[in-house]
């Protein structure tokens, strides 16, 4: 599901269902006369090469994610033949923000902004600093992976 920037506090499991399937669920709910309807979803992803593709979406300013990466690194030695790990970095667009905000927090005129939620305010870290670090980590990962 897309996030408009206000979804960081939402902790409800959610998934997007097309209208056709949504209509089927609504019809079934109406058939039961108001009784609860349970939906079970199973995500089956075959991997014939016995490798799991793992993506971690985070920001270098997120200390919890960085703690996870540091802890997970211990297991990668044993799992490296079974996991294709790709770090992904979270950015957001802010085309309607003020020019001073875009200069401080974004690249490309507000197209790429760092999720700088004030976690590092005491350190005077700007969004552009976070983006530079994310880009540096991305380049290091690609360089060291090959």
The pTM assigned to this predicted structure is 0.61
Contact between 73 and 80 under an 8 Å Cβ cutoff? The reply is no
| Per-residue pLDDT at 29 | 79
Range with lowest mean pLDDT among 20-29, 41-50, 68-77, 82-91? 41-50
The pLDDT tens digits for 78-132 are 988 888 888 899 888 888 889 988 988 899 989 999 866 655 556 678 889 999 9
Are the C-beta atoms of residues 127 and 106 closer than 8 Å to each other?
yes
Cβ atoms of residues 32 and 46 within 8 Å? no
Domain boundaries, the chain: 45-145
The span from the CA of 38 to the CA of 80, in Å, is 38
C-beta of residue 110 within 8 angstroms of C-beta of residue 95: yes
- The 8 Å CB, 24+ separation contacts for 22-28 are none
- Per-residue pLDDT reduced to its tens digit, 8-31: 665 666 678 889 988 888 888 787
Higher pLDDT, 120 or 53: 53
Nearest to 134 by CA among 71, 69, 77: 69
- The pLDDT of residue 1: 46
């Amino acid at each position: 599901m897309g996030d408009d920037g206000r979804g960081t506090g939402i902790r409800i499991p959610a998934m997007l269902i097309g209208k056709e399937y949504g209509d089927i669920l609504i019809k079934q709910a109406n058939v039961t006369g108001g009784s609860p309807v349970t939906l079970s979803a199973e995500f089956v992803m075959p991997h014939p090469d016995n490798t799991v593709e793992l993506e971690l979406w985070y920001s270098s300013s997120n200390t919890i994610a960085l703690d996870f990466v540091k802890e997970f690194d211990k297991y990668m030695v044993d799992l490296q033949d079974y996991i294709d790990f790709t770090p992904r970095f979270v950015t957001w667009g802010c085309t309607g923000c003020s020019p001073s905000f875009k200069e401080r927090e974004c690249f490309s005129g507000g197209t790429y902004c760092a999720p700088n939620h004030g976690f590092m305010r005491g350190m005077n870290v700007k969004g552009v600093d976070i983006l530079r670090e994310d880009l540096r980590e991305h380049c290091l990962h690609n360089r060291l992976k090959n």
